[in-house]
Structure 1
Amino acid sequence: MSLFTRFLNIDIPQQLQCNAQGKNPAFSISFQADGEIPFPQVIFHGQGTQKIIKDEAIRCIKGDKTGCSYVAEIPEGLLGGGDITVQIEGCRKADLSQAGGGDWIKEFRPLTLIAPKPATPKIESVDGVKVYFGIHKHMHQPYYRAADPNYWDGEKEEIFGSRVGNYTGFVPMAIRQYIEGNLPHGGLSTSWSGSLIEQLNRAEAEGLCGGRFSGWKNELREMVSAKTELGNPRLAFSAFGYFHPLMPLIPPRNIVRQIEWHRQLIRDQFGVEASRVLFPPETAFHVRMIPALKQAGIEAVIYDSIHRYRACRDYPYAGIEEGMLPPNPAEQINPPVDDWLQLHNVWAGSKISPSLLRPEYVAYEDPTGEVHKIIAVPAERYIGNEDARGGFGALQYPEVLGQVYEQIVKTGHFDPQHPPFFLLHSDGDNHGGGADSYYGHNTGQMVRWLQQDPRFELTTIEDYLQQFPPDPAQAIHIEPGSWSGADNGDPQFMKWFSRYDQAYSQDLNSWAVLTAFQNLVHTVEDNFPDYPALPQAIRLMLTAETSCYWYWTGQDVWDGQVTEAANLGWQRLGSAARDIAGNDRTGPTIFPPWVTPENPGGQRWGQGCLQPAPKEATVHTFIHDISGLKRVTLIMRTENGEKRLKMTNHGPYPSQTGASVSADYYTAQLPPGGGDVRYYIESEDNHGNITVGALERIFLG
């Protein structure tokens, strides 16, 4: 008999009633193929695991020239209640090690296991108070060799192969439950990096991971047409940076390009426009990003809520348990609030303010005095972090969100024109927040809870903003920082400045190398836009900005990623740089400055404690220009006026990764006792091109 090429029929129950223990009864699944299946199996996706039926549990009951029929026997108690995705598949080769992508044929069917319903007490809202929340799931894989995107090995096979559901059907599975549960505004936003999408396309084309990424986009493309009651997408592909850059630390023109590249990719791959709401990689935000975001067409940006809390006067700093230094007073310019709440039954290192959990305009003033504004959407740090453990059940939604609700009622801070709204943000492909149970069973539980509890509503960002637009006249400030998963996401972005206080820092080396490379690429682009090697160099530059390359400091393979990409770029563009000679029209590239100590005259880290910080402060930066630097000046503004300080050049940062070129390292001393200071850096190259950096803030105690 010939081997099968397709399934002819699949007979599976659509629903089954669970027993009193909430488990499935024994049942069978039958299927017919047009030939013999050497390796048939049935896989159940749900409850956070995969259950596989194969070998003796699947019997061939008939075989003739019309095909073969099989029956899979599923024992009682294997599965719990909820929605299950059943994968019926067969491999056309009995030796799986010899199987390629085209040898696996699979079909999917839904199965609902109806658990006994517990008695549900009636819940009522108080005086029309309602709390809105949304869900954001982040998907990303970097290129594991910045200079060689074709690199692939067994480790990559395992990394991608263990996330097939995350990158194919899990998100649509969750949204289908919102629709079937009649949640009028239910949906979620999701951010997918370009490096992930490119590698999934490669896996599909080359049959990597056993061919399991064949048609990986199909369910996602089908779901993008689903709309909320207001006509907005239930599945919103957030704006994002193509290669997952840490946006606060890259040049504005690269922020724009990363977003534009990503927008085009989403359009090409999914047939839909990316949202105008940005999820910045690592939820890393700094107000100096706002002009570039606006230039890229972004209307709203997601940020981690703690950086709004800490920007209030009289913020109740929680000490070292908060995982960050005290806020710098220069960041604390928002009015105080009086509804601080310590969450219980969830890890929360500090208090939150429910009244601040709503979209607002955030403002940035540049060195010329022009004010730039954008909508900022809070992602709640502690509740989102708990949701990342597995969704409904891991996070006790009714109890934890109920604390937020009760505090709003108690303090009387409910504003019907701007009701509370926050996101639960987490990786969608890692740990509990990436398990199939998050998207399947636990999402079903959340939907059933929302159907019974009028105090809360799941909504998309777009639906909320359409109903409750924030007031641009009430712009606030947000301190810099990222989400808690990045070493608590402190305002100094120390996850990406590891060992900055030592004689040599691998992280600082990568920034110095990248700064020089960015200037090379920008200069060639401005002077020779049609230079043949320029597209490859631009891609290398953007790839080298991947935030992951700073994550595992001390591991040579990661510490050298930026250098490898930059060195290859210098090889490609070196001759063009020499040809520019006296025609350079591009100003120096200035890396965003950092200050030590972080809180001059305040507190700094000691050994497991806080200790007094010196009042003397130093501003540090990297600067490069292929034509050489004529001057670098720090302009400091205080209530007494403006002062210009010459910055000291310490020469190229001493690379230990074999970098072809490294940017110069500059410092300047700030006078102690200056109070609330604004400053920026201005640099001029040897051809008179001037670059003005962003306006920064620091309090000098």
Structure 2
Amino acid sequence: MREIHHALVLNLHQPAGNLWEHLEHNAWETHEVLYALDRIPRSLWGYEEVGRVHLSLSGNLLETLADPEFQARMYGVVDCGALLWHFQNEAIFRVVGTGYYHPVLPLIPEADRYEQLARWRGLAGHLLWRDRFQGFWPPEMGFSMELIPLLKRLGYRYVLVDSDHVEAVTPMSWQELRYRPHVARFGDDEIIVVVRDRDLSDAQQSGMELGWFEQELEARTRWCDFAPLVTTATDGDNGGWFRNPEPKANFWGLYTELMEHARDGGAVRPTFIDDYLDRYGVSGEVRVNTGAWNTGWHHGHGFLQWTGSEEQKEGLARVAETSRVLHDTRWRAGELGNHDHALHRELDEAQWRLLRAQTSCNFYWGEAWVPRAHADLNAAWESIGRAHRSAPEIVPTGS
């Protein structure tokens, strides 16, 4: 029987303070999210030989789950410390890298992208006890080719991208384009591109039956003269299909059936992407057009979901200006050899406030959450102001 390799990717993210806020005003919302997270490892226990799940965990979420005060509040609901420990299990999980505060990377200043990625690696490496993450999940699947050198610099082997944005450079069939890994190049750097099937991912997010899913995979890969890799990627903690606690009425009921079929020799084989790459390698070169994944009503082209209104654009422009002044200030302080601890505490405070302001959720909900970005930017400017007053010589020219 011809094998169809299936890579399951789940994005797990909650905005900064969101679980705390719901806990105070609508505790069941927080409980639902935690139950959805806790259901992931529990659904895979006993299926270590066939269960294969890739997880992207935002820095916001990891920070909250690791907070001792939050763990104490949630004890008796979900053991968050144990949950983090379960996510360390490399028999059933591959954790993929991402940005700490879940920004749409092409929309934030280039100077801040490294910090977002490096901060995530520091926290995730500490909590999950590993120093290497092979795959990278761009928040909101927001990708542009200019990210490739940074991802290579940080040691990533492959990046996940959405099928709507991938174009062949090497001539290839529709099946090859979607169901084989490829190489994408930017300047002298290259990275492996793994393509998310948008249509099948939509079904995964909203709900489907296993029979339909298996038949759809068979039909889509029927003419493949290679071992196909079908990648589906969605949120794993949002939506009724993932939050429903009924075993036969949620995603994990379906995935348990899929694992049972795989155990019995079924055609669809849950697969880790790195294992597939080790066995089958890559084929051809592609170009990835700038864009994000589909978000409900929007197709992801042009980032309109995050940039459609004047208020969103003004917020992002202020992010860019704050970043420029902050980085110029830090550079000037280093150039002058100013190592005053109080000064650098202020600049560090401004840095994390700026990074948190870049959270994709602040710009996702139309204009509703843009004030959250401004609140962090205001705090960043206050810290920058205190730094400038304490050391006027570090004020950048033109500020």
One fold, TM greater than 0.5? Answer: yes
After TM superposition, give the deviation of residue 538 of structure 1 in Å.
1.1
Give CA deviations for 1:122-176 in whole Å, capped at 9, x if unaligned.
Answer: xxx3xxx43211101111111258xxx98676346333122222233x2212332
Matched-pair contact (CA < 8 Å) for 1:217–1:270: no
Matched-pair contact (CA < 8 Å) for 1:279–1:301: yes
In 1: Cα distance, 2:351 partner to 2:302 partner: 28
- Residue 430 of structure 1 aligns to a residue whose secondary structure is coil
2:60 to 195, 213, 230: 195
- Residue 45 of structure 2 aligns to a residue whose secondary structure is helix
2:143 to 256, 261, 285: 285
In 1: Cα distance, 2:29 partner to 2:323 partner: 31
Q: Map of 1:259-658 to 2, 5 A cutoff?
A: 259-273=117-131, 275-308=133-166, 311-312=167-168, 334=169, 337-339=172-174, 353=175, 355-364=177-186, 370-390=187-207, 392-393=209-210, 396-408=212-224, 414-415=225-226, 419-431=227-239, 432-436=241-245, 437=247, 438=250, 440-452=252-264, 454-470=266-282, 474-485=284-295, 487-499=297-309, 505-528=310-333, 530=339, 531-555=344-368, 558-577=369-388, 626-628=396-398
In 2: Cα distance, 1:355 partner to 1:476 partner: 8
Tell me if 1:218 matches 2:218.
Answer: no
After TM superposition, give the deviation of residue 204 of structure 1 in Å.
4.9
- Residue 376 of structure 1 aligns to a residue whose secondary structure is strand
- Residue 442 of structure 1 aligns to a residue whose secondary structure is helix
In 2: Cα distance, 1:153 partner to 1:178 partner: 33
Q: Kindly tell me: are residues 463 and 158 of structure 1, through their superposed partners in 2, closer, same or farther at Cα, counting changes over 3 Å?
A: same
Matched-pair contact (CA < 8 Å) for 1:173–1:440: no
- Residue 47 of structure 2 aligns to a residue whose secondary structure is helix
- The equivalent of 2:40 in structure 1 is 171
In 2: Cα distance, 1:570 partner to 1:455 partner: 57
- The equivalent of 1:247 in structure 2 is 105
Q: Which amino acid aligns with 2:65?
A: L
**Which structure's residues are more often helix, by fraction?**
2
Matched-pair contact (CA < 8 Å) for 1:172–1:220: no
Matched-pair contact (CA < 8 Å) for 2:306–2:363: yes
Matched-pair contact (CA < 8 Å) for 2:353–2:380: yes
- Residue 242 of structure 1 aligns to a residue whose secondary structure is coil
After TM superposition, give the deviation of residue 627 of structure 1 in Å.
2.5
After TM superposition, give the deviation of residue 488 of structure 1 in Å.
3.5
Q: Kindly tell me: are residues 467 and 338 of structure 1, through their superposed partners in 2, closer, same or farther at Cα, counting changes over 3 Å?
A: closer
After TM superposition, give the deviation of residue 482 of structure 1 in Å.
1.4
After TM superposition, give the deviation of residue 287 of structure 1 in Å.
0.6
Matched-pair contact (CA < 8 Å) for 1:204–1:211: no
- Residue 317 of structure 2 aligns to a residue whose secondary structure is helix
Q: Which amino acid aligns with 2:137?
A: F
**Which structure's residues are more often strand, by fraction?**
1
Q: Kindly tell me: are residues 456 and 563 of structure 1, through their superposed partners in 2, closer, same or farther at Cα, counting changes over 3 Å?
A: same
In 1: Cα distance, 2:332 partner to 2:144 partner: 30
Tell me if 1:157 matches 2:27.
Answer: yes
Matched-pair contact (CA < 8 Å) for 1:239–1:275: yes
- Residue 286 of structure 2 aligns to a residue whose secondary structure is coil
Q: Kindly tell me: are residues 490 and 336 of structure 1, through their superposed partners in 2, closer, same or farther at Cα, counting changes over 3 Å?
A: farther
Q: Map of 1:663-682 to 2, 5 A cutoff?
A: none
- Residue 163 of structure 1 aligns to a residue whose secondary structure is helix
Q: Kindly tell me: are residues 581 and 205 of structure 1, through their superposed partners in 2, closer, same or farther at Cα, counting changes over 3 Å?
A: closer
After TM superposition, give the deviation of residue 392 of structure 1 in Å.
4.9
In 1: Cα distance, 2:281 partner to 2:170 partner: 21
Unaligned segments of structure 1, at least 5 residues: 1-124, 228-233, 313-333, 340-352, 365-369, 409-413, 500-504, 585-625, 630-701
Q: Kindly tell me: are residues 161 and 187 of structure 1, through their superposed partners in 2, closer, same or farther at Cα, counting changes over 3 Å?
A: same
Higher relative contact order (CA 8 A, sep 6+): 2
After TM superposition, give the deviation of residue 486 of structure 1 in Å.
5.7
Structure index of larger Rg: 1
Matched-pair contact (CA < 8 Å) for 1:507–1:559: yes
- Residue 293 of structure 1 aligns to a residue whose secondary structure is helix
Q: Which amino acid aligns with 1:297?
A: G
Matched-pair contact (CA < 8 Å) for 1:223–1:235: yes
Q: Map of 1:5-154 to 2, 5 A cutoff?
A: 125=1, 129-144=2-17, 154=24
- TM-score w.r.t. the length of structure 1 is 0.51
Q: Which amino acid aligns with 1:208?
A: R
In 2: Cα distance, 1:363 partner to 1:156 partner: 47
- Residue 560 of structure 1 aligns to a residue whose secondary structure is helix
Counting aligned pairs with the same residue, the percent is 21
In 1: Cα distance, 2:62 partner to 2:279 partner: 33
- Residue 477 of structure 1 aligns to a residue whose secondary structure is strand
CA RMSD of aligned residues (A): 2.8
After TM superposition, give the deviation of residue 483 of structure 1 in Å.
1.3
- Residue 373 of structure 2 aligns to a residue whose secondary structure is helix
Q: Kindly tell me: are residues 430 and 205 of structure 1, through their superposed partners in 2, closer, same or farther at Cα, counting changes over 3 Å?
A: closer
- TM-score w.r.t. the length of structure 2 is 0.87
Tell me if 1:208 matches 2:73.
Answer: yes
Q: Kindly tell me: are residues 197 and 484 of structure 1, through their superposed partners in 2, closer, same or farther at Cα, counting changes over 3 Å?
A: same
Give CA deviations for 1:462-499 in whole Å, capped at 9, x if unaligned.
Answer: 1111112225xx43211111112264443311111113
Unaligned segments of structure 2, at least 5 residues: none
Q: Kindly tell me: are residues 572 and 178 of structure 1, through their superposed partners in 2, closer, same or farther at Cα, counting changes over 3 Å?
A: same
Q: Which amino acid aligns with 2:223?
A: Q
Instruction: Tell me the matched-pair count.
Output: 387
In 2: Cα distance, 1:305 partner to 1:392 partner: 23
- The equivalent of 1:605 in structure 2 is none
